[in-house]
Amino acid sequence: MLFHICLVAIGGSFGAICRYLATSYLQRKYPGKIPFGTLTVNLMGSFLLGYLLGAAEDDKLTLLLGTGFMGAFTTFSTFNLEAVKLLEGREKTSGLFYIAVTYAGGITLAFLGMLLGKIGKGV
């Protein structure tokens, strides 16, 4: 049990660092109304988590990369806060677009990732 907790903690620390670096870089590179950094990490995370779960055969790897890394890399709370800020302000259209792309894109990419993961392991 302690080993599993350590796997999640190690993965989570790297995922949080990668999220911070990626969102900071993308927000500087693509400033605008839509929080592009958060959108990108959440969509990438959806695909990668789907792929991992489709391909994974090792529970330890799933704990390290899925629960730990991807759990910290993606960020539902930041997404919600950014969406509320857009909707409360004068950016209702941008807010609705952000919500729609995050949910529709995330679900689609998670599905495609799982499909590719299963294909990759020959299922």
Do residues 62 and 56 make contact, with C-beta atoms less than 8 angstroms apart?
Answer: yes
71 is in an annotated binding site: yes
Return d(Cα 10, Cα 117) in angstroms, integer.
23
Do residues 77 and 64 make contact, with C-beta atoms less than 8 angstroms apart?
Answer: no
Return d(Cα 26, Cα 39) in angstroms, integer.
10
Do residues 11 and 72 make contact, with C-beta atoms less than 8 angstroms apart?
Answer: yes
Helix count (H) and strand count (E) of the chain? 6, 0
Binding residues for Na(+) are 71, 74
Query: Which residues belong to the annotated binding site?
Result: 71, 74
